[in-house]
Structures are given as structure tokens and as C-alpha cells.
Amino acid sequence: MSGSMVSSTDLKHKALELGFMSVGVCEALPAPHLAAYEDWIAKGYHGSMEYLARHVPLKANPTELLPDAASIVAVALNYYQPNPAVPGEPHLATYALGRDYHRVIRGRLKKLAAWIEIEYPGSHNRACVDSAPILERDYAHMAGLGWFGKNTCLIDSKRGSWFFIGLLLTSVKFEADAPALGACGTCRACIEACPTGAIVFEEGRWQVDARSCVSYLTIEHEGEIPPDLRQGIGDWTFGCDICQSVCPFNQPRESQPLRAGLTTEPDFLNRRQWPNLKHIQQMDEVQWDELTNGSAIRRTGLRGIRRNAEINLQNGS
């Protein structure tokens, strides 16, 4: 859809009305950090996630996903809630406590796309969550939602980093926002807290070597986990929150009245009840299927979750 640039004010009102925490817009330009991403893969930091390497050509430009893309609408959705470890119980990353975020965000983005199609007849739109081959943090940064922390998470200076990102590619040329500004300064909290030393500094930037990241090991890695990394997994059964939990931008501050606070999303607050670690080791496929229906935890598979539970128990959880 060709045409002159249009205001994004009504678009943003609609996105907030749909329940997103924040929204911004950027041009559908080639991915600015593609070269750095290719270098990260060349180093093998993606581990066994070969699909990331295969998708590089698609990630080069948003027009690979939507040929007439003119703008990218980036949205954020808060998922934070208390998530203390309980001895003998599985410790799951906070983002996975409720319903699969892919479904929640994609559903709302489709509603936003439907609104655009009514307001701008003939427009084309495509919703993308992090399973789509696009560098979503690049565009969320360009749209003003946050800046890159040393742990490579996107950080909003006023709201922290406990939020999901969703993108909507559209042929409508909306007014763009300025990229987010911010920096970690001399803070090394996440680097020092990472139990496996996965956050490394190379090529002038901080990167995460997935091969030693607890989230990767407990979710994406298949087979046995190297003995030298098993202790670092600690009590984490699925994912890890450590580098976000210690981040100063995620700590309550009176000077940050716009902090995201606790999520109010019912789909995230509706936490399912998990059996204890010993019962997880004995779970069968039918029980697993019922327990993880509509959950992001299904990603790791029954074999993986059993392996993780065994390591948790060996670590004294």
C-alpha cells in the first residue's frame, strides 16, 4: 500500500486499548544488527538451534515476510509476577508460568491488524511473535520500546525488562518513533550473577553464549547436559530469570512511577499446578500432554523436563 505518512496516534490508542503495556512504530528497514547476528552464529553461540542459521536470509529484511511492508508496529506486554523457588518443586521461568505468550500476543496483534484493515482498506499486515524469522529486539529498539542491556535483554528505563515483544508488519506508512536511549553504565550485576558465565564480551559488545546459558540448556538443548554445567543449573527446571532478577532496572524505585509492576494479564496469572520434581521424573506422555497443553513449557519435551528435574534433585532442590 503506497501513500503518504499517516499519524500513529489512533493506532497507539488501539494497541493500548487491547491491553499492551507500550507501543511504538519504526520504518520497515533492513535489520540493523544483522551482521552482528551472523557473527554470533558463526561463533557457534547459537548451540544446536540450527534453525536460527537457516533463517538468516529471512531475517535480513522485513519485506521477506511482507513484501510491501512500510512500517513495523512494536508492542510490549508485561508478564512479571512473584516467582520464588520452592524446595522440591519445579522452578520455572516467570514468562512460562501461565498461558503460552505466543498465543496471547498473536491474538491481540491480529485484532490490531483487523483494526488497521478497516481504517486503511487494502492494507496488508502480518503479526510476528518471537517464533517468526525476524530480529524482533532490533525493531522494538528502533520503535522506542527499550535498549539493549549487557544481558542482551531489551530494557525500558522506566519499566525494566519483564515484558514480551510482539511485532506487526504493515503496508501502512505510520509516523515513526525515535529509537530508545539508555545504557547499563558500569553495572555488572547480570554478568556476575550468571551461574554459568554465559554473558561474554567480544567484538566490542556483550553477547550471550547459548551453549552455557541455563535457559538454553533447560529448554533447547537435547540430550545430556555437560557435567561442568549441571551444577550451574541449580534449581531451574525450565528457563532462568537470574540476569533479569538482579538488574537494577527491575528493582522497585520511588523515582520510577511508570514501572510496569505486576502483570494484570489473566492468561499469565492463571498458573497451572505442577507436580513435584520426583513426580515429574515419573510422568508419562499422556500426563505431560495434558499438563502442558497451551503452555510454552511444552517446548522442552517430556524427556528434557525429566532430565532437568533429575539435575535439580542432584543439586539439592
Which candidate in 10, 68, 100, 130 is catalytic? 130
What is d(CA 97, CA 91) in angstroms, rounded to the nearest whole number?
10
Q: CA-CA-CA-CA torsion for 87, 92, 98, 100, nearest 10 degrees?
A: -160
Mention every residue, 6+ apart, whose C-beta is less than 8 A from residue 277: 88, 89, 90, 237, 309, 312, 313, 317
> How are beta strands 163-170 and 125-128 bridged, if at all?
antiparallel
| 289 contacts 306 by C-beta, under 8 angstroms | no
Instruction: Give 154's contacts (C-beta < 8 A, 6+ positions apart).
Output: 137, 140, 141, 145, 146, 147, 148, 161, 163, 165
Q: How far apart are CA 21 and CA 285, in angstroms?
A: 37
Answer whether 240's CB lies under 8 Å from 95's CB. Answer: no
Nearest to 171 by CA among 62, 22, 75: 62
The backbone torsions φ and ψ at residue 263, rounded to the nearest 5 degrees and listed phi first, read -65, 150
Residue 138 catalytic? no
Say whether 167 sits in a helix, a strand or coil.
strand
* Catalytic positions: 130
